[in-house]
């Protein structure tokens, strides 16, 4: 029993990156990548709902920041929107999210 206890304590003291239960960085980045949830409206009146992690944002065509986040450098800014795609940018991080991705298709 002592040996089992020492083994268990030894495993708990190992750094997180050496443990088998640590998650790869890529999976964390995938969860935090923006995801198009819905597009609403027609013509010039378009809105896009985008989820980043557990936070939802509503972008309105012609407005760079999502509703309620004017001037917040920590959120993605809207760089373009048409009937099928939304282009977002935060510093060097750029994403193009399209309806076909929402419906299970690949990258645009």
Print pLDDT tens along the chain (108 aa). 566 656 655 654 555 445 455 555 555 555 688 999 999 998 788 999 999 999 999 999 999 999 999 888 889 999 999 878 999 999 999 999 998 766 666 555
Measured distance CA(11)–CA(51) in Å, rounded: 36
Buried b (16+ CB within 10 A) or exposed e, 59-89: bbbeeebbeebeeeeebbbbeebeeebbbbe
Report the predicted TM-score, pTM, of the whole model to 2 decimal places. 0.67
Q: Is residue 21 part of a domain?
A: no
Q: Is residue 71 part of a domain?
A: yes
Q: Is residue 6 part of a domain?
A: no
pLDDT for 19 equals 45
pLDDT for 14 equals 52
pLDDT for 104 equals 63
> How many domains does the chain fold into?
1
Measured distance CA(99)–CA(33) in Å, rounded: 16
Measured distance CA(85)–CA(96) in Å, rounded: 7
Domain range for residue 77? 35-108
Q: Is residue 108 part of a domain?
A: yes
């Amino acid at each position: 029993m002592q040996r089992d206890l020492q083994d268990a304590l030894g495993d708990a003291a190992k750094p997180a990156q050496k443990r088998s239960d640590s998650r790869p960085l890529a999976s964390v980045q995938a969860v935090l990548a923006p995801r198009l949830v819905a597009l609403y409206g027609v013509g010039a009146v378009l809105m896009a709902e985008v989820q980043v992690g557990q936070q939802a944002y509503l972008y309105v065509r012609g407005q760079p920041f999502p509703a309620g986040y004017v001037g917040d450098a920590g959120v993605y800014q809207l760089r373009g929107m048409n009937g099928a795609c939304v282009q977002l940018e935060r510093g060097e991080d750029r994403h193009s999210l399209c309806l076909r991705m929402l419906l299970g298709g690949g990258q645009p």
